[in-house]
Structure 1
Amino acid sequence: MKEDFLHYLWKFKKFETLNLRTTQNESVTIIKTGDYLELSGPDFFNAQIKIGDQKWAGNIEIHIKSSDWYVHHHEKDSAYENVILHVVWEHDAEIYRENNIEIPVLVLKNYVSSEVLSSYKSLLTPKSWIFCERQISQIDDFVFKNWKERLFFERLERKSKFIYDLLEETKQDWEAVLFCLLAKNFGLNTNGVSFLQIAKAIPFSVIRKESFEVENLEALLLGTAGLLDKDGEDVYFTDLKIRYFYLLNKYQFEKCHIDYVQFFKHRPDNFPTIRLSQLANLYAKHQNLFSKIINLKSVREVYNLLGVSASSYWQNHYQFDKESPKKAKHLSKAFLDLVIINTIIPLQFAYFTTMGETISEDLIEFMDEVAPENNTIISKFKSFGILSKNAFETQTLLELKNEYCNKKACLKCALGMELLKSN
């Protein structure tokens, strides 16, 4: 038994309500169950009940056992002084306020039908991947659509916390925030942390000043990544190394320790040398990139704006001193789709939120254009009959799996609630 289930029972009155009685055998009539705000303090605020002939207004606290009141030290917390009813599954102790007045207790298990319990146990019986995998395809389309929108914006809100932290670090410089986000995105999962460290290690004022010469940007990025530390015979390598140490001296900032960037298990097009060169070329091509990116509203606009390639040296190299067959190293559409998902959309959401503007519909329409992601989670949902037509839908499924299914939060999930109701 979990408290979340008891919250669900109380909120939706999923129990016999006509003949309720406290442990002291006083009748209980529920006028208003209260507001379930999921804040600190009691579980339900502003409830109204009638105990015997006395009407009460106040808060409801819910526990598995009565004694949990003392386990959680509520007797020492003034926030619980206004609790008018203690709803429990099992009664194992009398509960008193600080003034030694006993709090009425309602034992809920005496009033819950076997059918409701059976539905709950069925939903939470472990399956191979998620609890509702045999039923999820039967969820009403309207319920699922509304829940997807909620999941999408919950995901954006979580991502925004990282953006707001960067905004604080950069003293409210949105251009610098964008640079950090793009760097992290260009590093993908393996090198994302290292690339973010690189972006933070170089004052963005330096990036601004040197953005008119791509070789200087490339020297700064590759040098900070530690890729110019060794000795090399290549003319391009030597030139970048000279530029890097000249720029360090010019701007008087120290070389920082960066986690070693990874080549291992990467496709050559994702080598850190290539991605950092592409990032340098992007900032050489576009000054004031933030102002251009913040109002993008379509995939085509992104492809046109961010369509850059690595420098000419990298057309026949993946690493220094190792020549390879010639190949243009353009940012692919698939890669730019990831930039939209992980950088552009979260940045737009965070920025316009701080401006007090709502662009929810625009963001959904934007994501509807982006191709669906392809990973193990999306493939697993597909095997249960849940298909994704675009990135909006894949992002919602990732949020569902990671923030609800993995945390066994079925009773906070609209799908889990719907399945319980329907059963």
Structure 2
Amino acid sequence: MKSIPAQASAILTSAFCLSTALLLSGSGVPPGPALTGSAANPLPSAEASAAPALREVDGGPGFYGRFTNPLPDALEYFPIGVWLESVLDPGDIAMDKNVGLNTYVNLTANSDTALLQPGGVHAVTSEPSPWTSGLVLADEPDMWAGPGSSEWTGKWPGQGEVCNPANTPCGYSVQRTLSTPIPDGTMKYANYGKGVSFWESNTEASVFVNEFQDVVSVDNYWFTDPNICGLGEGGGSLGRDRNLTDKECRLAANYGWTIDRVRSLVNPSGSKPVWAFVEVGHPAGEADAPTITGPQLKAAVWSSLIHGARGIVYFNHSFGGPCQSFHVLREPCGDDIRPWVTAVNRQITGLAPVLNAPFLDGALAHGPGIDTAVKVHGDDLYVFAGSAQAGPQTAELILACLAGASVPATVLDEDRTVTLSNGVFRDTFDDGNAVHLYKIGGAARTCAP
């Protein structure tokens, strides 16, 4: 395992320790209001909207191109990133590209950013560089500094009192202090945590989401976090008013809930990209916490995409469990998960023009057991569907715009087709990790307004 610089390691370790303490304590902060429905599939409904409507991806397809030294705004580019990785030589980039990564998010301080452009990859970093495409603000200040504008002392978790006066919130001041000096035209990115997703009111969380950065994410590790199922976190925010059962909590659809939560706070609605975080190992320090599996990872990624995520960021560190690493996707610790990451990244890359294309809202009806998104790309319709329940099911999907027609739909990467008869087709979803991706050739000519 390559070492990371002492300063970066100290900050990472102290942030992790403080976050762990917050997780274990529950922070004593009441959960935020529960959400209903979803942005990608607003509410389970027996019938589709009478008027299907096109909706551009959040921020618009050319969003990244508006910045200095931008991330690509080509339809063929979809950000597939890794968090706090190091780039010390061209071999590092080669390994990461082999699993389908194209973007580094918050490179370690000892990384050589001059290697990025020759390596054909992109990055947003904490320190300015002529070779990167944006700057990263503080990570998770909603948790370690809180929603408020008290004075920030300039100290990071583990270095002493963060806010002045002590025990008053200064998270807004942290982000404001870091973002204000950044030159106009530079893309700013920030990731938040359980404060925004669970503990803070909509008003408090909205300040973090809207006021400091151009691209935003929240990391909730539903498959591996030992505390996320509790009443003060997922249990309260998902409207159960109790601890979640494993079947309710360890569910890929909850990654989509996280995207919905953040998107619901963006103002104006749909005006900035929301990226998704998915773990690739064992991020919790507790040895008995779960480790994510390949099928879970694939389903979590696709749930995020179905619900409108405009980028995927993999959390590449295992702090606990039988194999600990800061470079899971490069080292033997990742041997089991790496093929799954590679496969889903290949899907994302191949479907990037579709993922960057408009949604067709209101076109598809189905029951509550699945989450879906309909995309329009050229003359074709794409339906992305993921299970939203733990058990097996047979789902019925209805495209009213194809009533009276009998047409095939190709199930991508499964070597099979299903037939839409009078606009209706059925498919099986074996468990909570089941995902099916359908292409209906030529259907956009009939269905898109």
TM-score tier after normalising by the smaller chain length: under 0.3
Q: Which has the higher contact order (CA 8 A, sep 6+)?
A: 2
Higher strand proportion, which one?
2
Please, what TM-score do these two structures have when normalized by structure 1?
0.22
Higher helix proportion, which one?
1
Flag the structure with larger Rg: 1
